[in-house]
Structure 1
Amino acid sequence: FAAARGDFRTAVLTAVNMGRDADTTAAVAGALAGAAGGVDAIPQDWASAIAPVTGSCLPSMRGYHVLDIADLLTPEEAA
């Protein structure tokens, strides 16, 4: 994340290509970049490729898109 200067795509791709625990590292890098840049930081082609979750781990999330879940977890901006 720091090496990518907060750029979402660069942070995730760099982390994935570092090897070892790449899935977790990329998830953390993406989370940090997303938190810093907001939903607009996520490349649209990446966001549109994600299908609604199946709910295999959390049945209550079945049918939600990951960005919908992010909205549920994000407090409203101050007016």
Structure 2
Amino acid sequence: PWTDLAPEAVGLAFGAFAAARGDFRTAVLTAVNMGRDADTTAAVAGALAGAAGGIASIPEEWASAITPVTGSCLPTMRGYHVLDIADLLTEEETP
């Protein structure tokens, strides 16, 4: 039943990102306030804005609220901070 929401969420997320001109806070708040699949839309808009602006674009009061994951969905990730996980996913190979 969710197959129609993914294309819509991605389109809305790109719209929120464009309307916010890449500003992280504005992109996320615009996306979440569109309704429908708001968590997905805001996550994608935030990912786009974060990729464009880097970690410094995330408001400090939002970033400081992120704590290490509990591992309830992925037990092997217990104790990692989201930035640690991002580093694991983007490690560069040494020649």
1:13 aligns with 2:29: yes
Higher CA-based Rg: 2
Question: Structure 1 residues 41, 75: CA separation in 2 closer, same or farther (over 3 Å shift)?
Answer: farther
2:40 alignment counterpart: 24
Name stretches of at least 5 consecutive residues in structure 1 with no aligned partner. Answer: none
Aligned length in residues: 76
In 2, the alpha carbon distance for the partners of 1:75 and 1:5 equals: 29
CA RMSD of aligned residues (A): 1.3
Pick which of 26-35 and 64-73 moved more: 64-73
- Larger helix proportion, structure 1 or 2? 2
SS at 2:42 equivalent: helix
Q: Alignment partner for residue 80 of structure 2, among 64, 74, 78?
A: 64
Percent of pairs with identical residues: 89
Name stretches of at least 5 consecutive residues in structure 2 with no aligned partner. Answer: 1-16
In 2, the alpha carbon distance for the partners of 1:38 and 1:73 equals: 16
TM-score, structure 2 length as denominator? 0.73
TM-score, structure 1 length as denominator? 0.86
Question: How far off its partner does 1:72 sit?
Answer: 2.3
